[in-house]
Structure 1
């Protein structure tokens, strides 16, 4: 057999293993556990509609925000309008914004007089060794402990909107399953062409890197969280000295989950969300490219060897199948074409559930190799940026 045929067979073998032996990462049925009475999340809003803790614990919602005046009107009101039976307060930490983020937040709170109490404060610039987001989280957590002594901390990004029962359902799930951390992968926007091409694949690749079922297994070493929505037990944050112990983490959500899982019972949970959505638009290719390039090389531990292995692996798994199918068809090599087409078919099949989750057409599954090539280039660009001294640059700050 020809070399392309052998490569295509290797890709097919890899996809067979990914399909059956990698935690069923491609499935999209890992959702927030239902309340104990069996009523599904979002099934009602009155106290009698769902079971939950007999005494609802106090919760502090901490929102780090830097130059988020444009998205806050679409997200912050959803937090202030939470229908939570216990005590809850929102602490928005203005991380050195230059666009009036704090003023916009206060104006929105004035427009929601019956909503959750809102405190807006700013900690000043982060000290050396801290990322701005984690410094803001630290400040917000300290404010919350001084004010409410919360049992749980909801860490949520400024661009995330929550349906009215979101906080209630997160706490109910955490209490009923005795979880130390509950995280939801927010539903991201797919309005534009680039968003439809890149966003479902982003969530798909995240699940491939951190299979949700393995994350949710206490005995498994895999740990991850989605930083847009993380409910954390306050006593666990004290036990693990969070966020101080991870203060320099660029990929803060995964680092947080690792600290929690390895330091305690291992009971963390990560799943997909429907009622927790990102309102941030990604116009064009530049914005999602920068988002990935900011941290991709950090995920590879800044190792050239790991980068080379990653590029080779991505090329074999995602690029060889369509290349072999096309090459075999052109040259008349039936074995090469069949092996490439089979690998491509399995690849596309694993992508279909994510496309359905986002309500996109099934034919887009065939574009996954193109999307993977773009993410491969983003990863390489992340390494180039790192070696040029601007790898972790975000909103005017660059971290070592």
Structure 2
């Protein structure tokens, strides 16, 4: 087989790139290791930045998001038993939309298949060759048949553990955090309209939501925590205590522990292979940047690949890594800052705790400091970093 762009991974980055390329008349094939049912049901982050929302609307993917998504014009920071609202609308004139990553994936899969896009699920044995000149993707199809896909460019959007990242000679920047998140998805109507980030002496907690019927909540726990060691009653008790706000309880639909790390691989390109999303960078979830960074990557990459395959213009792909990494490092800093300001470090002493509280007080009392948080949270305009 031959196509213009071969894409490994059918997450938001890979699927959106395929959609953006198709709108410009560029053919692509998307190869995904998991089943369609799996990727459409896998619950992930749900905060869409303002530029992400605008892009999805612009490319015809905003109808269900606008109907079912939950617009937020601010978030609250809770510490010292008091709650302080950061008003995004007042500070920036913009907001965010809570709309689960799996919902974005559903919309993208439906759009690609409706347009005759080639998305292949349950692919295995992916191997990349000829990346400096004539790229080839070798793979086994769902029926076990061996396939060979020749293309002008390959995009690795297959996540941190995929095959693509290992094929790019890179320098790694990595930070592991001494805590994790115990997250639950509960069949319980949210009682709040916006997210609440709580800094508590015994650990961070987050109140969020996924729909008018489903609440998403998190607790800071040690990184070696086994979710099965936490009973439902223990989780609810700790959430009430740390959040200090009303919570509707309900049956747990999901429970799991997520590690916290910052990771960047530089560069994001090797020959005709380009990394996007988690294959190139990971942020702790505190700043809600993961999916938004992936979408920002492919917005840049779609334009660069269009110029490359239609006119032989390599200027866009040559600049791709540097262009994206400027935004990546801004998001890495913001995510690190939010994480360090809101979590309890087990190695911290009383001096560190006082510094943390001083930062929180400055953030909620200074309009300039609150604006910095708001601008980064709602998302800096694409192309502005």
Which one has the bigger helix percentage? 1
Task: Name the one with the larger strand percent.
Answer: 2
Superposed pair shares fold, TM > 0.5: no
- Structure showing greater Rg: 1
